[in-house]
A and B are shown apart, each in its own frame.
Chain A
Amino acid sequence: MSSQAQRPPRGVDPPGRSVDPGVDPRPLLAEKLGAQVLETRTDPDGTLRVVVDLAAWRPAAETLREAGFERLDFLSCVDWDDHFDLVLQAYSPTSRIVVRLVAAVARDGSAPSLSDLWPTVGWEEREAYDLFGLSFAGHPDLRRILNPESWDGHPLRRDYVDDINITRPQYF
């Protein structure tokens, strides 16, 4: 019995696959958020880097999600010693535009959760909570994900001290 005979051949492109150059999120963000968009820049590789005020974090993400930025790259933090940069990157499969949304957060601060916008962002936020200690308001299930619940501290902070496990001498 051959399954080739059972199942008709396919491979037709689903609709909406052609590149649509018209979707630019910048006017949308500017219209909805106004002065809360602090900086917009296009990187050499075409990535649109948008810095927003933390208060506009969730409205900006909602705008992007509604504009078709359905493929989530990642959500994470960068520790700059005095503050965290909260980074979300997503792209639109129709226009191929990549947007990196950045907001500065205080090191002991909190950010609104986006876990209802992209389903897998819930795990990324749990990871940021686990490794940086940043809490996400409105997250339905905010607990550690990579480290055990009993772990002391948040390892990816630059000031994290672990004398037992990290004993590498500084060669350079």
Chain B
Amino acid sequence: MKTPDEDHVSPVVTGAPVGPTPERLVPEEGDYQPSEDVQDFLINVGPHHPGTHGVLRLVTRLDGEKVVGLDVRIGYMHRSLEKIAENRSYPQIIAFTDRTVDYLAAMHNDWVYCLAAEKLLGIKVPERAEYLRVITGEINRMSSHLLSLGALGLDSGATTYFLWCFAARELLVHLFEELCGARLTYVFHRLGGVNYDPPPGWVERAHEAVHRVVDELPRYRTLFHDNYIWHQRSMGVSTLSADEARRLGAQGPVLRGSGVKWDLRKDMPYSIYQRFEFDVPVGAAGDVYDRTEVRFHEILQSAKIVRQALNDLPSGPIIATRVPRLPVAPKGAEAYARLESPRGEIGCYLVGDGTIKPRRMKWRGASFHNLAILPALSIGYTLSDLINIVGTLDPVMGDVDR
């Protein structure tokens, strides 16, 4: 069967903007001169603002409509995950990692915590569990990217696109509901495997849902990605060269949108990603348009991985035998695991204490690092562009504030 993505969309993204580049949006070196008639003034965006995707506060200094200074204030949703983790046993922490941090990619957070804890405690994961982790992780990447793209569309006025993205996401979220009973905070992973075997017929329904989502996507291109208005809003906005993206330490789609082909699934493979065939889409200009395209094409690549993993899904146990109920890590033992979440590299650093609780858990969030470079990305552009730039960073404030 020929898959829809082979028919309609090339797996590689875009090129430098050749079409009608909106020149009024492109800043140049030394472009900023304080106007004589308009004084600089401060405007406060957020923390309760639909464009900031959560409780993010941006104190912006404006000259007219142009952002000339930006202070990013975070912490409005700080729930102290790391302190909580110091008071819980290793298996208990899983319930916190998917709702306290990046709740739109809960599978990835549980996964990275389990990777770190399994490394610390020396637990091996059975084959079928690895496949289920990859399947759920990639479906979660698709649903997270759909939400991100839809919210970006909503920010720039494309309400229909937002609703369409949500409709497609619903198909994927329904799979998770069937698998583990939850739509957002799954607690699907366990130390040494996963907690639920797919119910009868789930594999076929997952094939069907992924196929339907991929089948929808060309329609979305026509509505939004190939839309002239979107091109005017996105091309040449917040351009970031590859060298600058590497220097700043950009994460995930922001880094790849600038043309740096760096994806941990390919470059520092974890779990069983070496077994799957997929491409890493990259942009060139590193503008808002390219980052959006990277996300769009990552949905197709994730669908490709899900199909391969569903076809190869082996039988066998889903969780390692003889995992202690309350495992103990030796004092001073350290482990760090990282993986490629929809927002970039996330990581978990665990230090053992000789007890059933960790001495220290440090959460490394991709959104935290991406937001730290927001001033470098947005100064020189207009306030309305700032909202779109925040949208392309796709920050989840749970991941930033922890």
Contacts and interface: CB of A to CB of B under 8 A. Distances in A.
A150 interface: no
Contacts of A131: 82
Contacts of A43: 334
A93 B249 contact: no
Interface string A3-19: 11011111101100100
Interface in A119-147: 119-120, 122-123, 131, 144-147
A14 B402 CA distance: 34
Contact of B83 (A72, A100, A144, A155): A155
Interface in B253-281: 259-262, 267-268, 279, 281
A119 B373 CA distance: 8
A6 B234 CA distance: 15
Given A47-B336, A119-B247, A172 B362 contact: no
Interface stretch (B9-17, B30-38, B135-143, B198-206): B9-17
Given A87-B349, A89-B349, A9 B80 contact: no
Contacts of B119: 45
With most chain A CB atoms within 10 A of its CB, the pick from B10, B119, B334 is B334
A6 B19 contact: yes
Nearest to A2: B226
A53 interface: no
Contact of A11 (B12, B338, B359): B12
Contacts of B262: 93
A95 B376 CA distance: 28
A78 B248 CA distance: 26
Given A78-B351, A118-B249, A123-B372, A73 B338 contact: yes
Contacts of A8: 15, 18
A119 B260 CA distance: 18
B373 A49 contact: no
Q: Chain A contact residues (Cβ within 8 angstroms of B): what range?
A: 35 or more
B248 A119 contact: yes
Given A17-B261, A155-B80, A11 B231 contact: no
Contacts of A71: 249, 345
B398 to A, nearest CB: 12
Contact of A70 (B75, B228, B249, B267): B249
A119 B246 CA distance: 10
Interface string A92-103: 010010101000
A146 B57 CA distance: 12
A80 B331 CA distance: 10
B38 to A, nearest CB: 27
A156 B247 contact: no
Given A10-B14, A79-B360, A93-B262, A146 B74 contact: yes
A140 to B, nearest CB: 13
B323 interface: no
Nearest to B15: A7
13 contacts: A1-B226, A3-B225, A10-B12, A10-B13, A10-B282, A14-B261, A91-B268, A123-B368, A123-B372, A155-B80, A155-B83, A156-B82, A172-B356
